[in-house]
């Protein structure tokens, strides 16, 4: 994965009077990337004072719209619907993944595997900022059950989730 330049940091250092070379060398950034930020900021008339209250991702998107956006090759499920369906009794991620896979097969589009489905759902739950027992199922679903080697039954117990 390609690292994004910290455009907000570059603009702040530029406002403090540092040169392109000083920023690149001092902060381990590509000189060409620093030049891109300088040139784009000049072209758009953007200074550090304009972006001071914004997050790094917002500043990067302002200067370089569309750059770094990756489209998934897979049909994306409606994560809000998945989340609400999981609140119903007897509904599991495995069941919802099977329904998702079946609908993709009918449409003739590629679908993601169960592991990726669980990971993306866990990301969705984290973005919502809620704690979900389903998130724990995503993380620990494979750890529960009986080990055939020794017959030991493993049940994930209490899991502390902190943010």
Residue 89 lies in a domain: yes
Give the per-residue pLDDT at 159: 44
17-28 CB burial, b ≥16 within 10 A, e <16: ebebeebbeeee
Determine the average pLDDT of the residues in 127-153: 54
Answer yes or no: pTM beyond 0.75: no
In this structure, the answer to whether residues 95 and 132 fall within a common structural domain is yes
Q: Indicate whether 136 and 91 sit together in one domain.
A: yes
- Return the higher-pLDDT residue of 5 and 157: 5
Indicate if 141 and 108 belong to the same structural domain.
yes
Per-residue pLDDT at 133? 53
For residue 23, being part of any structural domain is answered with: yes
Res 154: pLDDT? 52
Residues 135 and 87 in one domain: yes
- pLDDT, position 160: 45
Q: Are residues 85 and 141 in the same domain?
A: yes
Whether 150 shows a pLDDT value over 60: the answer reads: no
Q: Are residues 104 and 141 in the same domain?
A: yes
Which has the higher per-residue pLDDT, 84 or 142?
84
44 with 87, same domain: the answer is no
**87-130 pLDDT per residue, tens:** 888 889 999 999 999 999 999 999 999 998 998 888 888 877 76
> Is 120 contained in some domain?
yes
Last residue of a domain, one of 63, 89, 107: 63
* pLDDT given at position 65: 83
What long-range pairs does 92-100 form, CB within 8 A, spacing at least 24? 92/137, 93/117, 93/118, 93/121, 93/134, 93/137, 93/138, 93/141, 100/75
- For the record, the structure tokens of 125 come out as 């739950």
**Greater pLDDT, 148 or 26:** 26
For residues 25 and 87, membership in a common domain is answered with no
Per-residue pLDDT reduced to its tens digit, 58-71: 888 888 887 766 66
Query: Total domain count for the chain?
Result: 2
What mean pLDDT comes out for the span 1-27?
Answer: 87
Domain that holds residue 43: 7-63
Share of the chain above pLDDT 70, in %: 75
Predicted confidence (pLDDT) at residue 158 exceeds the cutoff of 80: no
Same domain, 48 and 86: no
pLDDT at 57: 83
């Amino acid at each position: 994965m390609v690292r994004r330049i910290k455009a907000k940091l570059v603009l702040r250092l530029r406002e403090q009077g540092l040169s392109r070379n000083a920023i690149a060398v001092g902060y381990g950034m590509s000189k060409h990337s620093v030049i891109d930020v300088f040139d784009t900021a000049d072209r758009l008339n953007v200074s550090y004072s304009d972006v001071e209250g914004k997050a790094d991702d917002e500043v990067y998107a302002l200067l370089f719209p569309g750059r770094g956006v990756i489209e998934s090759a897979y049909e994306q499920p409606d994560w809000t619907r998945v989340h609400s369906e999981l609140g119903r009794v007897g509904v599991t991620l495995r069941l919802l993944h099977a329904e998702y896979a079946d609908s993709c097969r009918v449409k003739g589009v590629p679908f993601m595997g169960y592991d990726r489905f669980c990971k993306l759902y866990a990301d969705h739950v984290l973005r919502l900022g809620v704690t979900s027992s389903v998130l724990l199922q995503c993380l620990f679903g494979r750890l529960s059950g009986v080990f055939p080697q020794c017959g030991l039954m493993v049940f994930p117990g209490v899991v502390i989730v902190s943010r």
